[in-house]
Each structure stands twice: as C-alpha cells, then as structure tokens.
Structure 1
Amino acid sequence: MAIGNYIHDLLYRYECVILPGFGAFITQQHSARIHQSTNEFYPPKKTVSFNRQLVQNDGLLANHIVAVEGIPYETALEKLELFVHDLQTILEKNKVVNFDNIGSFTVTAEDKLQFEPAVQINYLKEAFGLSPFASNQILRENYKKQALAIEEKAPVAFTPERRRSNWLKYAAIGLLAVGLSGAAGLNIYSNQVNEHNLAEQQKAATQLENQIQQATFVIDNPLPAITLKVSKQVGNYHVVAGAFRMEENADKKVEQLKAEGYKARKIGANRFGLHQVLYSSHETRRDAINALNQVKRNSNPGAWLLVQEL
C-alpha cells in the first residue's frame, strides 16, 4: 500500500496529512510522563488521530507523490482518487482496512467509520530511539533505620586525641564566625556605597531633565506629523490562499486579496517551485483554525493550513 507509506512518512514532518475525499490524519504531541505505581518512564511522543470532516485536497500528499514517483500532478490526483475508491470498496465489503504503522479502520453496525491508531508508533522525530524504562524505587527510610541500628550497636569512645581534635574544631568554628562577621560588615558598607551612588545618579539625572525642559527650540515651517501603524505578521501557523507556478499569478492574487481587505503576502517558492500566497499568519493553532474556517465560509473553500517556521 504505497499511499499508506507516503502518509506514514509525511506524519513525521507535518501535523496534518489529508487523503483527499476520505479524511485527514492529525498528529498530537504528548509530554514525557512517569507512571506513579510502576515507576515507568515514558518518553515524549506524537500520536495520530483521524478526522473524517477534512476531505478537501491541500496538495501536500499529491505533491509528495509527484516528488517521489516523478509523475505529473494530475496523474498523482488520479492515483489518489483511485486509491480512495478502492479503499471505500474494501470497507463496504470487509468492514475493515489496515494501514501499516498508522492504524486500522472499521465500519460499525451503524455504518460509522472508526479509526484505531497503531500505539507502538511514535511520530516525534526528537524522541526517535527512546523507549520506556522502569526504575527501582529508592527506600530512603529503610536506610535511615539501618544506620540508626548500627549506631546503637557500635558506641563511639572518645580518647584524649579525640578531645584535642574537638578543641581544634571549636577554634576553627570561632575563627570562621569572626571572618563571617567581618564579611557581613564589608557587605553592609558596600551596600551603603551603592545606595549613595544610586542617589547621586538620580539627582544628576533630575538636574539634566530640568535643564532640557527649560530649553526652547524654535523650528520654522515644521513638517506635519505623520503616524504610521505597521503590524508585522508573526507565527508559524499560516492560512494559505493558494500556490502558483507563475510568480506573476501569485502577485495578482496578493493584490486581489488586499483589495478584499486581507493582509495577504507571498512567502516565496516551496520545494516544488510553487509560489505560496497567505491570507494571514498566527501565533497559535486555534487562531489559525478560526481564521481558516472564516475564509472557507466566506470566499475560498479550498484554503488550507500550513505549519511552517518562516
């Protein structure tokens, strides 16, 4: 199942891979965790789920097939359409379909499609090769009881040499206390000097400010004030209006969207040589999804979400 292998490869790099006409495979990242009862450590991971509502072609899977197999884009779309047709036929007949290393689909008695992900697959590249492991519990209280028992069985006898060492120890402690008191006094003096310097700096700054306020500046024929509001779009979640082979077509699309009130822009050509045009960019996925839904409802049902650091 070559299409399944292509989807599997893309899930390591993208959060959403759409199989046009069938649905979307979506990944979600989970933090590392510890099982309290078994003391097992689990590495961070990225799991996959399925959304039956996202069926609009976003070009990601088709372009990947074009790059791997070296076939035209239209041929890749026909191949995907045939694959989905065969997939639905198998589901109607056998009620189950398996995607290697992704999961399995089953049709319930109510004709509902259910997806069961492959739990052994971790799509987080940063956690590649990491596996769960268990650690033995550290029983500190038991060691403490053992130490107390040993002390009770082995009393310590003090000799004259031991007493002499104790006197030396007390003398060293006394010298250390004297040194610490001297250091504390030095710190107090240093703090007082810093406070004095800060007060003098504030006084000088106040005098300079008063002198500046007293100065008078006269400018003949002053230029009118102009207020510019520039908002830079930031974020790694982008609402894409389309991808164009010709750059002039992308420029026309940008001008058209700006005329409609969008803050449209180009982000250059992708690895397939297509010039991508954005409606907007967002810092959070939720904001990007809301903007994408609004665009689809109002003007462009073919818009899609791109997750990429620009």
Structure 2
Amino acid sequence: MNINSHISSLLYRYQCVTVPGFGAFLTEIQSAQLNGSAVTFNPPRKVVSFNANIKNNDGLLANHIALAEKISYEEAVSNLTKEVAVWMQKLQNRETLSIENIGNIKLSSEMTWFFEPINNTNYLTSSFGLSNFISPTVKREELKKVVEELEEVAPIIFTPEKKRNYSYLKYAAAAVLFFGLAGTVGYKYYYDNQIEQQTLMVEKSVQDKVHDKIQEATFFIDTSIPAVNVAIEEDTKNYPYHIVAGVFSNEQNAKNAYTDLIKQGFKAELGPKSNNGMNPVYFQSFLEYNEAKLFLDNLRKTTNDQAWLLID
C-alpha cells in the first residue's frame, strides 16, 4: 500500500500527521516573502518538517486510510506497519526514502535522520491558486544609453508650439484608475470568500465521517464499571474544537470517565452520541483553534499523549 498520498492529503487540513512507529510530519505556516534581486514574490505556505521522536499512533492516519480504502481500522493499522517496515529497511540500507510531494529522508554517517522537504506543493489552503511571481528588472540605464546613441546620429530638434491645457485628462485618468482598482479588489474579495467557504465545507464533511468511525478499536472498555449518575449541564455556546479523552461504546463507561476527569480538575464534557452509537468524552472544548492546540500540546507532554483534536 502506498501511503504517500494519504499523508499528503491530511497535511492540507492538519498541522501534524503521525506515521505510527516511524515519525511525524509537522507543518508551520510561513508568511509571504520577497527574495532575490529580481524581486521574487512567494505566497504564504505551509513548511513541512519531520520529527522522528513522535511515533505514537493517534489514529488519524489509520482512520483516514480505512475510510479512503474502505477497509477496517485493524487492517489499515496492519498495512501501515508493513509499509513502515519497508521504509526502515531502505534507511538501514543507506538508501534515500523518497515520499512523493513531501520530502526525502536518509540516514547520515552519524546515524542521524536527515529530512529534505520538497517545496513543489503548497499545503496552505488559503493560498490556493497562488504561485511564485517574479517582477522583471526595469532596465532604465540601458534605455537611456540607446536614446543617447540615437541623439548622436540624428539630433532631436524641438519645435515650439502653443501649450495646451490637458489638466482635465488627469482627472479622467484618476477616475478610471479608481474604478478599476475598486473592481479588482471587489472581485478578489469575492474569490477569496468563495475559496474559504469551499474549504470549510470540505473540512466539515471529512470531520463528520471521521467522527463516526474514529477510535472504535482503540477506546473500547469491555469491563463493567459501577454505574455513576452524572448531571450534565447544557452549554449554550458553540465550541467547535474538542480535545478527546476517549470514545466509548458503553454510555455508562463514558459517564464514569467524564466523572473521573472532573475530579482531576478538567472542564470535561460528554460529546453527542455518533451515528454508530459511540460516546465521546472531551477533556475540554474551545472556541479558538490556537487555544485548543496549546492545551493539546501541554496535555500530551504532561498527562495523556494519546489525546487528539476533533473539529466540528
């Protein structure tokens, strides 16, 4: 199985895609830049890096493969394990591992990992349709030299004439420029807005599908736990970013896990039951993505390295 395309697809929507037992591909947003004497404009992009120390299975890649290939979660994990074994064998043989549209990985003489990204793909969806632009150099000095040579061959004689008033042309040109710029800005705003809406629709569709199947094989609890009555408060705000602690097939087990998180001091929540009867439990939910990402990073370092982010 070729997992390159699946990793590449996830990098458009997530900042971290982990290959279990191998490492994680991370993305960082880089702002637009001007480079070189020829004034090359580079649009904003996602810069891809690799961390060989992050190897835990967060379920993201396996569930994506299961949905895309229409196979079970267990089969997807098994296929991932086989592919990683092939990758590791190539690196041990000192061969360069080439991952299409992402980068090349190889081992140095000191047995350290070296990752060289391939920058031909921009994974930042907000920069869709933008490409590098090179502004040509204005050759004023060369044109001036050509004019001087022409003057030496055939001197230019100016004939005096009555000066005419063309001031009204300035106002006409200014009006044309103003309306032209206004039309351009309006069209660009409309185009950017359409692209953003389409991207959000795609992300929402993928999240709905993942929400139904994610972590079915990872977070089941078969042992029976004494029932605990939990009072659930209705939250009037719409928090789209959820830090998931677990997904349970048994509703009472989900309530027990919720109670345990509350005792630990978390602002835990019971998520809505999915279409296939799964009951998610959240450490906490957030309004802003940056807050959720910061909380998740700290949680993985200190308490639970299996927590993951779910976006409504």
Is 1:111 the counterpart of 2:115 in the alignment? no
Superposed CA offset, 1:105-147 (max 9, x none): 1001111111111111111223233221223457999x9xx9x
CA contact (8 A) 1:292 1:303 kept: yes
Aligned equivalents of 1:269, 1:132: Cα separation in 2: 46
**5 Å matches for 1:42-61?**
42-61=42-61
Following the alignment from structure 1 to structure 2, what is the Cα–Cα distance between the partners of residues 11 and 268? 27
Residue pairs, 1:1-310, within 5 angstroms:
2-35=2-35, 37-136=37-136, 153=158, 157=162, 238-268=242-272, 274-281=278-285, 283=288, 285=290, 288=292, 291-292=295-296, 294-296=298-300, 299-304=303-308, 306=309, 308=311, 310=312
Q: Structure 1 stretch 106-115 or stretch 126-135: which is displaced more?
A: 126-135
Cα drift, residue 36 of structure 1: 6.1
Give ranges in structure 1 of 5+ residues lacking alignment. 147-151, 166-229
Q: How many matched pairs? A: 235
- Note closer, same or farther for the CA distance 1:52–1:254 as it changes in structure 2 (3 Å cut): same
Give CA deviations for 1:208-259 in whole Å, capped at 9, x if unaligned: xxxxxxxxxxxxxxxxxxxxxx999887664321233455443332222112
CA-to-partner distance for each residue in 1:52-94, whole Å, 9 max, x for gaps? 2221111111111111222221222122122222211121013
Q: Is the 8 A contact 1:33 1:43 kept in 2?
A: yes
Counterparts of 1:85 and 1:122, CA distance in 2: 29
Q: Is contact 2:38–2:137 with CA below 8 Å preserved after alignment?
A: no
Which whole-Å CA distance do the structure 2 matches of 1:272 and 1:50 have between them?
35
RMSD over aligned Cα atoms: 3.8
Distance 1:280 1:8 in 2: 29
1:271 and 1:104 map into 2 onto residues whose CA distance is 40
TM-score, length-scaled by structure 2: 0.62
**Unaligned 5+ residue runs, structure 2?**
148-156, 166-233
1:261 aligned counterpart, secondary structure: coil
Q: Which amino acid aligns with 2:260?
A: Q
Of structures 1 and 2, the larger Rg is shown by 1
Q: Give the 4+ runs in structure 1 shifted more than 6 A.
A: 138-141, 230-236, 270-273
Q: Does the 8 Å CA contact 2:244/2:310 hold for their aligned counterparts?
A: no
Task: Output one character per residue of 1:2-36: Cα deviation in whole Å (capped at 9) or x when no partner.
Answer: 21111111111211111111111111222223336
Cα distance in structure 2, aligned partners of 1:30 and 1:297: 25
Give the drift of 1:272. 8.1
